[in-house]
Amino acid sequence: MRLCRVVNLGVVPYQTAWDLQRSLVIERKANPNSPDLDDVLILLEHPPIYTLGQGSTTSFLKFNSAQTEHDLVWIERGGEVTYHCPGQLVGYPILNLTYYQKDLHWYLRQLEEVLIQVLAVYGLEGTRIAGMTGVWVSDRKVAAIGIKVSRWITMHGFALNVCPDLSGFDQIIPCGIADKAVGSMAQFIPDIQIDRVREQVAIAFAAVFQVRLT
């Protein structure tokens, strides 16, 4: 059973977390067979920021990207524009898929399964929609997923809306999906606490990926 180190960072600027991810990926790509490099699951929240995946289009922004007060950054993950803010639990797994399955579709479905299991702890039924990536409760998308994999080392990951201010999503067409609403766990469980959800995410991650947490 592989070891996975859980790193809880609280609220972290996007650039700080991005730099951390890239340093971990570079280290693992340089030493792909090193037994000393455990997998890592980074759990955190971000201050308000919009991110766009590689190849995404600004047509899904409802503001002028060249003249905006919003923090906006293009990154190397897949997918279209999304929004991060406090109250949204973000997970960045740094895994070597050589030790799991060299299959990106498998990996995406595994991340979805982690979130579905977390929602089930709270009595919420998380569902998938064919042809789309993410997790929905009823007709609301509560979790988005966008990844980057290079030499089978993963970065970026998932964002679970626990109790965020959802108004920031009004400025975009989230993930380029115009006909699906964004939701949060707090809409169904008003007193939900993100610290508790963070613990459940780690537990579910260990179960789905069959790793031992450190």
d(CA 49, CA 152): 28
Residue 175 annotated in active site: yes
CB-based burial, 110-133: b 16+ in 10 Å, e otherwise? bbbbbbbbbbeebebebeeeeeeb
The residues, ordered by sequence, that sit 6+ positions from 214 with a Cβ below 8 Å of its Cβ are 3, 4, 5, 6, 38
Options 4, 85, 163, 175, the catalytic residue = 175
Structure tokens at 44: 């955190």
Phi-psi region of 151 (alpha: psi -120 to 50; beta: other; left: phi over 0): left
Residue numbers annotated as active site: 175
